Each structure stands twice: as C-alpha cells, then as structure tokens.
Amino acid sequence: QVQLVESGGGLVQAGGSLRLSCAASGRTFSSNTMGWFRQAPGKEREFVAVIIETGGDTFYAGSVKGRFTISRDNAKNTVYLQMNSLKPEDTAVYYCAAAKNPFQLSRPSAYDYWGQGTQVTVSS
C-alpha cells in the first residue's frame, strides 16, 4: 500500500514557477513508477509527466515539455514537479500517482495509487 500527499500548489502569475511535491509512504516507493496528472474543471484528467521506477527515464505531455521537469528522491520517498513558464491553461488540480507496472503510463487507469490533489492557479 502506498499513500501519496501532494503539496506546493498555489496562485501564481503567468510566466512564474511552482514546485509541487508528492510525499509517499511505504517502503516500496522506489519500485513504483511515479506520474503527475492534472484535471481542469469540466475536463478529463490528463497526463502531465512520468518518471520510471529505475533508471530515471522521464516522459512528458507535449503541452508541458520544455517547461516542466519531473524528478524523484528515493531517499526521501518524494517525487517533484518543477513547473516553469506557467500559463493560464496550466490551471488545474494536480495529482501524483504511483504505478506498480510501467505500462501505458499516459493513462490514469495504469496507476494504482493516487494523492488527493493540489490546486494550481495561473493568473493572466
């Protein structure tokens, strides 16, 4: 069992930066692939970024590539999402998620555990 708690959301002006954190409980953190998703009002939950359990390979949605960076610190059981050059369209609730198996990782259904989400609002 893995429990996830996000933090770091808030209100920021367009062009600004935020760093989200996701603290995980459980000794199996390092064996889980970790992802970030977001959901804006009235829209489906969409993939943002993922970092593979070992090796640290990362993948990003096209809309955030070059602006967002996902990283993990296995010693701290924490995954991060550094968000730079934020745009109003990045406004959403951001969720971190953990997957036991690294397959079809852009789909929410691939993930076994979810955090409660943290709100990010980007003003124009």
pLDDT one digit per residue (tens) for the chain, 124 residues: 889 999 999 999 999 999 999 999 976 777 789 999 999 999 999 999 999 976 689 999 999 999 999 999 988 999 999 999 999 999 999 999 999 888 899 999 999 999 999 999 999 9
Spatial distance between the Cα atoms of 63 and 66, rounded to a whole number of angstroms? 9
Q: Where are the beta strands (DSSP E) in 4-109?
A: 4-7, 10-13, 18-24, 33-39, 46-51, 58-60, 68-73, 78-83, 92-99
Place of tokens 């059981």: 77
CA gyration radius, the chain: 13
Tokens matching residue 124: 């124009």
pLDDT at position 99? 92
End-to-end CA distance of the chain: 40
Q: What is the pLDDT of residue 4?
A: 95
Q: Which of 105, 81, 94 is nearest to 33 (CA)?
A: 105
Position 41 scores a pLDDT of 93
pLDDT of residue 26: 78
Query: Which residues, at least 6 apart from 38, have a Cβ–Cβ distance to it below 8 Å?
Result: 45, 46, 48, 90, 92, 93, 94, 95, 120
